[in-house]
Amino acid sequence: MPHLAQHTSTDFSVLLTQLGHSNRQVRLQAAATLCRHGKRERTALAAILAGLRHSDPMIRRTAALILGDLPEHGDRIVPALAAALSDSQSTVRRQVITSLSRLGATAGPAIPALWQAARDADPGVRALASSLLAHLSPASTRAAA
């Protein structure tokens, strides 16, 4: 079984690259390590956010997955996830919506981007966006009142 060494804040770029590794176990360990550090280290969070713009769609999708587990950073991650709804890969867009849904009402600022996603060419993206909008819109209306 592949093993990841203990990583310091200077190694987050290595972990980010490992999100695209061909071995699933390496990808999962890198994701778990980034998520654990992302909860408390700004450099880890910055690396995960950078992953949304990586050239490898698997890394972009995994970065989106990790961000859904970091609601305490919603003010930084929701705008990045909303921007990622325009990703060229539908698998990434679907994961972005799934991650936004895990953030709950914190994802409210992404509503305009979700309305765009509700008209996406991919039926899976449309369905996920529409479902999340149905849950967020009432919550956002109550929060604004």
In a domain, 29, yes or no: yes
Query: What's the mean pLDDT in 24-46?
Result: 80
- The reply to whether 112 falls in a domain is yes
Per-residue pLDDT for 105 more than 70?
yes
Report the C-alpha gap between 64 and 103 in whole angstroms.
12
Residue 38: pLDDT band by 50, 70, 90 thresholds? confident
On the question of pLDDT at 32 being above 90, the answer is no
| % of residues, the chain, pLDDT over 90 | 48
The DSSP line for 78-93 is HHHHHHHTT-S-HHHH
Q: Say how far apart CA 39 and CA 115 lie, in whole Å.
A: 29
What's the domain range around 25?
9-144
Asked if residues 6 and 33 have their Cβ atoms less than 8 Å apart, the reply is no
Cβ(34)–Cβ(48) under 8 Å? yes
Tell me how many domains the chain contains.
1
What CATH number does the domain containing 49 carry? 1.25.10.10
- Residue 2 placed within a domain: no
DSSP states along 6-37? P--GGGHHHHHHHTT-SSHHHHHHHHHHHHHH
Task: State the Cα torsion 113-117-118-124 to the nearest 10°.
Answer: -150
Q: Is residue 102 part of a domain?
A: yes
Mean pLDDT, residues 47-59: 89
What pTM value is reported for the model? 0.80
The per-residue pLDDT for 138 is: 65
What confidence tier does 52 reach under pLDDT thresholds 50, 70, 90? very high
